[in-house]
């Protein structure tokens, strides 16, 4: 029998598994302590477990699911990690250093099947969903190997998180579990390109996890040209799901908006976005486009256009921020580094 990834298990699931082998369930809490509080990378370092129990764990489970292949650090202190998976695939995680906080951008899939025109991950072929353990290990590596204290965690790396819904939610529950990582729900954000069914399901999660939506245009024709997913999940369908989400949770939604010169940065685009955001009581995060080798035809909006766009939104009462581009010299846009590795 193949070994199992131990970090795929919730505490309750691990207790039940151990009981099946006549191992007291309280050992599950001890194992969680060693993994999530101490960051051990070897079962034999769990010194308050018997030798027989440690041998059992080593026989049945894999403790580490990813391996660092490469790390790049930018002048602005952004760090991109390239991780190799057990099957030879690659994923990325990015630590974004901002003035008062550090954010970890987490991947949820190898590649992505949705083909957004501006996204390097979308240009890669979809390989597979990440296991829960492969999601969790991105966090544990940064915490214990790099000794970096993270303030916020965002599922905005490679892949569409809601396309790997069950594993992402399971990972979030382990992140939130006080006996595991103990990360407050409000410090976790999940970004989706607009998968309506999963948004409807997410509203019933009963956790204060933040929702961000990759919108990029409040015009159906433009959005569909940038994001093929918008053909199935139209703005009308997405809007209905977001309205239901807000009515159920009363939580503010963030609309992510990549600004692409001559595509979605006109005055009319700003007015359409303002109307959409106002209807949903949402805030807006404007993101200058990061040029990638996957699309040589797009370019970032000018600073002048971004400022004008920002001012229109603010004048309409929309809470708006502009995300400064980070890590340009280290290919920090999602999927760039893994894409180059895969294509080599």
Of residues 92, 131, 160, 256, which has the active-site annotation?
Answer: 92
112 catalytic residue (yes or no): no
Contact 104, 153 (CB under 8 A): yes
The H-assigned helical ranges of the chain are 11-20, 26-32, 51-60, 120-123, 132-140, 165-176, 196-202, 220-226, 229-232, 235-249, 267-280, 303-315, 336-343
Q: What does the alpha-carbon distance between residue 216 and residue 292 come to, in Å, rounded to a whole number?
A: 17
Nearest to 102 by CA among 121, 76, 83, 68: 76
Q: What tokens were used for 117?
A: 């025109």
119 catalytic residue (yes or no): no
Residue 160 sits at φ, ψ, to 5 deg, of -105, 110
Place of tokens 């009981």: 19
3-state DSSP assignment of residue 234: coil
Nearest to 250 by CA among 260, 262, 259, 242: 242
Nearest to 62 by CA among 127, 164, 110, 131: 131
Residue 153 sits at φ, ψ, to 5 deg, of -125, 125
Nearest to 170 by CA among 126, 205, 212: 205
Q: What tokens were used for 104?
A: 């970890």
Burial of 21 (0-12, 13-18, 19+ CB in 10 A): exposed
Q: Which residues are catalytic?
A: 92, 334
């Amino acid at each position: 029998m193949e070994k199992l990834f131990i970090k795929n298990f919730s505490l309750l699931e691990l207790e039940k598994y151990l009981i099946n082998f006549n191992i007291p369930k309280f050992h599950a809490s001890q194992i969680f302590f060693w993994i999530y509080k101490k960051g051990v990378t070897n079962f034999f370092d769990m010194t308050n477990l018997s030798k027989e129990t440690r041998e059992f764990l080593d026989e049945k489970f894999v403790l580490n699911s990813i391996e660092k292949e490469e790390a790049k650090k930018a002048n602005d202190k952004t760090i991109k990690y390239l991780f190799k998976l057990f099957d030879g695939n690659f994923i990325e995680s990015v630590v974004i250093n901002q003035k008062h906080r550090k954010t970890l951008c987490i991947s949820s899939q190898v590649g992505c099947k949705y083909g957004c025109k501006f996204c390097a991950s979308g240009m890669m072929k979809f390989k597979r969903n990440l296991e829960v353990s492969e999601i969790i290990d991105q966090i544990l590596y940064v915490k214990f190997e790099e000794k970096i204290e993270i303030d916020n965690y965002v599922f905005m790396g490679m892949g569409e998180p809601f396309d790997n819904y069950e594993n992402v939610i399971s990972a979030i529950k382990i992140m939130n579990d006080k006996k595991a990582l103990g990360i407050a729900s409000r410090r976790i954000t999940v970004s989706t390109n607009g998968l309506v069914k999963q948004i409807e399901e997410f509203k019933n999660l009963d956790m204060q996890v933040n929702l961000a939506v990759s919108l990029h245009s409040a015009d159906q024709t433009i959005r569909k040209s940038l994001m093929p997913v918008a053909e199935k999940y139209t703005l009308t369908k997405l809007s209905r799901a977001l309205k239901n989400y807000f009515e159920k949770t009363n939580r503010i939604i963030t609309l992510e908006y990549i600004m692409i010169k001559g595509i979605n940065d006109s005055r009319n685009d700003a007015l359409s976005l303002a109307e959409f955001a106002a209807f949903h009581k949402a805030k807006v995060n404007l993101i200058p486009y990061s040029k990638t080798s996957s699309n040589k035809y797009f370019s970032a909006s000018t600073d002048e256009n971004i400022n004008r766009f920002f001012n229109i939104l603010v004048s309409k009462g929309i809470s708006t921020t502009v995300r400064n581009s980070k890590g340009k010299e280290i290919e920090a846009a999602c999927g760039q580094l893994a894409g180059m590795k895969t294509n080599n």
